[in-house]
Amino acid sequence: MNSTGAASSPPRAGSGAAAERHPRKGESTRAAIIEQALSIARREGLEGLTIGALAERLDMSKSGVFAHFGSREELQLAVLKQYTARFIDLVLRPAVARPRGLPRLAALLENWLALLAEEIEAGCILIGGACEYDDRPGPLHDALVAIIEGWKAELLRAIRMAQTEGHLDPGADAHQMVFEMYGLMLMLHQDARLLRSSDGVQRARHGLARLIEAARPRTLGAQAERARRRPH
């Protein structure tokens, strides 16, 4: 789960400002469409996202919306891509700036929890999408699998890094920790959205803290010994 960007090429001689206005306007319109589509998908699900509903919301013609996307599926994939980019900006990137080990893992979990707490009213596209497409093969299913597996890999990497740094017991089952972390977040989403529980965020945060605490090195002596043996 990462993002890349490329610098744009300088304009050709003689192209002029007027020649660049149309592509930029098209990009701006496409971005506005995706943003509105993201808003709809949060509340209605990816399956609830249609060209017609989007055109009505944007006060555009269906053909105008369709001109930017070859199909409804392409629109849905663009929404997933936009959501993933936002997830990276809000959850992953700030955490990577933290020191290696437990500080970085803790930041990943807290950022994820904060984002999910904000999404309680509208719903999380990844969690909702996983329910919609878990048994429906196709590009959307594959995209969701890639995004979720990528995020789980980031969590696993952070846990193993914390083990390497001596912050967590190297004998702790990192895969099991990821499983339980994800389970807590799924339970938070269900409790808050379906059951309308008001204490889901607090319970999820408490569960994550207990999970981390249980994986800490048992003794300071053992931690020091692991640090001594670690290659420099």
So what's the pLDDT on residue 63? 87
Q: Which of 6-10, 70-74, 111-115, 197-201 has the lowest mean pLDDT?
A: 6-10
pLDDT of 7 over the 60 cut: no
So what's the pLDDT on residue 208? 98
Burial class (CB in 10 A: 0-12, 13-18, 19+), 122: middle
Nearest to 105 by CA among 43, 19, 172, 39: 172
So what's the pLDDT on residue 10? 37
The CA-atom distances, in angstroms, between 184 and each of 38, 136, 178, 179, 190 are: 25, 25, 10, 9, 10
- The four Cα atoms 3, 132, 29, 91 give a dihedral, to 10 degrees, of -30
Q: What band does 116 get if pLDDT is binned at 50, 70 and 90?
A: very high
Neighbouring C-alpha atoms within 13 Å toward the C-beta of 108 = 24
pTM: 0.81
Share of the chain above pLDDT 90, in %: 66
Domains of the chain: 73-229 (1.10.357.10)
pLDDT of 223 over the 70 cut: no
pLDDT digits (tens, 9 = 90+) for 177-212: 999 999 999 999 999 999 998 899 999 999 999 999
The better pLDDT of the pair 226, 52 is held by 52
Rounded to whole angstroms, the Cα distance separating 142 from 135 reads: 11
Q: Which of 18-22, 33-37, 137-141 has the lowest mean pLDDT?
A: 18-22
> Cα angle vertex 19, ends 15, 22, to 5°?
155
Nearest to 122 by CA among 39, 198, 204, 190: 39
Q: What band does 5 get if pLDDT is binned at 50, 70 and 90?
A: very low
Average pLDDT score over the chain: 87
pLDDT digits (tens, 9 = 90+) for 36-71: 999 999 999 999 999 988 999 989 988 888 888 889
> Cα angle vertex 67, ends 8, 59, to 5°?
110
Q: Which residues have C-beta within 8 Å of that of residue 138, sequence separation ≥ 6? A: 73
Q: What band does 230 get if pLDDT is binned at 50, 70 and 90?
A: low
| Interval 17-33 mean pLDDT | 69
Report whether 135 contacts 73 (CB < 8 A).
Answer: no
So what's the pLDDT on residue 14? 45
